[in-house]
Amino acid sequence: MPETITPPRVQDVVKTARPPLHKVILLNDDFTPRGFVVRVLKAEFRMDEGAAMRVMMTAHQRGSCVVAVFTREIAEEKATRATDMAQKEGYPLKFTTEPED
């Protein structure tokens, strides 16, 4: 007898929910030294020199740059840690977060 394969009932098809992602955004300012911005990006976002330099220069020229995307909790934690690193050195460097569209 041929085997019959029954497809799953509609209620049994469970969608795997993906958490919404949030962007970490680097903001430009007139005071923080470029080298320090690069240092923070490397330390907190594990970027290599080249990637950190490109992100820093984009924020410098355009006012802001998306650094990376994470779940909301991680994005907020990283933005806070990176902003605190700068504050400890007396720089106004700021990282913010916003939901990804």
Minimum Å distance from CB 40 to ligand TYC?
9
- Give how far the C-alpha of residue 76 lies from the chain's centroid of Cα atoms, to the nearest Å: 9
Closest separation in Å from C-beta 21 to ligand TYC: 21
Nearer to ligand TYC, 28 or 96 (CB): 28
Q: Smallest distance, Å, CB 35 to ligand TYC?
A: 9
Distances, alpha carbon 9 to alpha carbons 4, 25, 58, in Å: 15, 43, 50
Q: Return the CA Rg of the chain.
A: 21
Residue 89 tokens read as: 């050195």
Please check whether residue 96 is in contact with residue 22, taking contact to mean a CB–CB distance below 8 angstroms.
Answer: no
Residues lying near ligand TYC in the complex (CB under 6 A) are found at 26-30, 32-34, 37, 56, 59-60, 93
Q: How far is the CB of 37 from ligand TYC (least distance, A)?
A: 5
CB of 34 or CB of 81, closer to ligand TYC: 34
Tokens (6 digits) for 23: 């962007």
Q: Which is nearer to ligand TYC, 37 or 79 (by Cβ)?
A: 37
